[in-house]
Amino acid sequence: MSDFESYQQARLSHWDTVARQMDTSASWGRTYHQQLARIFKFLVPPGQRVLEIGCGRGDLLATLKPADGLGVDFSPQMLERARQRHPELKFILADAHDLSSLDGLFDFILISDLANDVWDVQTVLEQLIQISHPRTRLIINSYSRLWELPLSITESLGVAKPTLRQNWLAPQDIINLLGLARFEVIRHWSEILFPLDVPLVSNFLNRYLVRVWPFNELALTSFFLARSKISPNPVIRQPLVSVIIPARNEAGNIPQIFTRLPEMGAGTELVFVEGHSQDDTYSVIEHQIAAHPERQCQLHRQTGIGKGDAVRLGFDHATGDVVMIFDADLTVPFEELPRFFKALNTEQGEFINGVRLVYPMEDNAMRFINLWGNKLFSLVFSWLLGQSIKDTLCGTKALWKTDYDMIADNRSYFGDFDPFGDYDLIFGAAKLGLKIVDLPIHYRARTYGTTNIQRWKHGWLLMRMVVFAAGKIKFI
């Protein structure tokens, strides 16, 4: 018998025994598993096609309410109980090292507390590309080695599930193994500082203190959210592009938009949303549409107030596969837009966010206080979201319309809170686990009109939104 076969046989016998013991020891790690379920429910929307490898009795998978849920485990005793407990789900007896019996593609693949226990983590991960589509999200959580002694003590006391000798992978080990298996880590973070149920104390430690250094270094488990790596030869599609152009008091800039905004993909649709201008912006747009029949255009009069409301109205009417925001103040050069389209269309990212803070700006393009305020908020939001966001208020962004529709469908989680339209999209993209990519742009001063940003009023509003985002995304 090979070393691998001996290893697997010992574990098979062990987990079959644990399955039987759990019939009378249902409280093993209850608080810990409740915490895991809370985190996975935040990451996985209901109604998805979900695969869990190493599903045990299927409780985590069932909690996520998948439209099509499949659990895989190599323990017949575990699967017998899973089928009894969750008849609405499907379960397959298979070893994680050989998933050749699996069929189809999954939206989410979960590996919870399994990486520590398998013989060859790389072999397990490498098979997952075959059952992933470009939008599949792989979520892994794995014990921290710092907890080896405390966990062994709890096991000896009979208050935790007994385990055999573990791999105890460091976070960088898992990131490296994911890279070898052609997965790209979108973000990774620490969870669960105190796996016991003590009123008030557990909530404070596990939702707040664990987010703060150095306490995050002491957490029990590390989480990893990954997507399949960009293929070396991505399929280049020719989608229709809708450019949403909110316009308020921008009459002098409108003619240039028609003559200079480039065609992209299979064609570019201009979706103007005029927002209660005090000049003749609306009539100028009407005139330019009539003068340029070669351009595919829409014009809508905003019914609500604020740029965020205008952007949402434009997105709702857009017919393109790609949706992009372009401010009518023309502070972003037209020539930058194809770069957003290329980054999205070649799968470099799934939410392309413009950054004004890299290249030198034209004089008077941004006030000094606004510049440093933007830099501060970029640091705060990068920490909150777990992905780099160097410029939260750049007006130019691009994403797929299908992703926008999912953000809109999940908007109730955040509510209608954002007058700018930027945070509604950024928060929604982060909640869906989209790969956010910062794209540096050149930023220049206005040549017509004045800014609609009120730095002190809007700065205070941004501070309130930081607190709001913390409660909805970071301290869940």
The three state secondary structure string of 195-234 is CCCCCCHHHHHHHCHHHCCCHHHHCCEEEEEEEECCCCCC
For residue 175, count CB atoms less than 10 angstroms from its CB and return exposed for 0-12, middle for 13-18, buried for 19 or more: middle
Q: Kindly state the percentage of the chain with pLDDT values over 90.
A: 66
Q: Are 57 and 81 in contact (CB under 8 A)?
A: yes
Is 90 exceeded by the pLDDT of residue 369? no
For residue 359, the model assigns a pLDDT of 78
Lowest mean pLDDT among 267-281, 297-311, 450-464: 450-464
**What was the pLDDT predicted at 459?**
63
d(CA 444, CA 332): 7
Tokens matching residue 266 = 């299979």
Q: Please state the rounded mean pLDDT for residues 169-197.
A: 94
Q: Encode pLDDT of 43-59 as tens digits.
A: 999 999 999 999 999 99
The radius of gyration of the chain from alpha carbons, rounded to an integer in Å, stands at 25
Domains identified in the chain and CATH numbers: 3-228 (3.40.50.150), 240-474 (3.90.550.10)
Phi, psi of 157 (to 5 degrees): -85, -5
**Which whole-number Å values give the CA distances from 51 to 110, 112, 212, in the listed order?**
6, 11, 32
Please answer whether residues 389 and 469 qualify as being in contact, where contact means their C-beta atoms are separated by less than 8 angstroms. Answer: no
Is 320 a residue whose pLDDT tops 90?
yes
Q: Residue 39: which pLDDT band, with cuts at 50, 70 and 90? A: very high
**pTM assigned to the model:** 0.88
Lowest mean pLDDT among 278-287, 288-297, 362-371, 419-428: 362-371
Q: Is 303 exposed, middle or buried (0-12, 13-18, 19+ CB in 10 A)?
A: exposed
Q: Compute the mean pLDDT over every residue in the chain, rounded to the nearest whole number.
A: 89
User: Which residue do the tokens 């009109």 mark?
Assistant: 449
Q: Are 379 and 462 in contact (CB under 8 A)?
A: no
Least confident of 43-52, 91-100, 343-352, 371-380: 371-380
Q: Residue range 198-211: average pLDDT? A: 93
Q: Is the pLDDT of residue 352 over 90?
A: yes
Q: Which tokens belong to 436?
A: 């956010």
Rounded to the nearest angstrom, the gap between the alpha carbon of residue 461 and the centroid of all alpha carbons in its chain is 24
> Could you count the other beta carbons within 10 Å of the beta carbon of residue 330?
22
pLDDT of 188: 95
40 — pLDDT class (breaks 50, 70, 90): very high
Which pLDDT score is estimated for 221? 96
Whole-number pLDDT of residue 390: 85
Tens-place pLDDT, residues 128-145:
999 999 899 999 999 888
Residue 242: which of 392, 351, 394, 400 has the closest Cα? 400
Q: Is the pLDDT of residue 472 over 90?
A: no
- How confident is the model at residue 341, as a pLDDT? 96
Beta strands in 361-429 (DSSP E): 397-400
How much is the pLDDT for 12?
Answer: 93
**pLDDT, tens digit, 9 for 90 and up, residues 254-302:** 999 999 999 999 999 999 999 999 999 999 999 999 999 999 999 999 9
* Token code pair at residue 316: 């709702």
Banded model confidence at residue 424, pLDDT cuts 50, 70, 90? confident
Burial of 95 (0-12, 13-18, 19+ CB in 10 A): middle
Q: Are 379 and 390 in contact (CB under 8 A)?
A: no
Q: According to the model, what pLDDT value does residue 302 have?
A: 95
State both tokens at 378. 């970029």
Q: Could you tell me if 280 and 253 are in contact, meaning their C-beta atoms sit under 8 angstroms apart?
A: no
- Taking 80 as the threshold, does the pLDDT of residue 383 lie above it? yes
3-state secondary structure of 259: helix
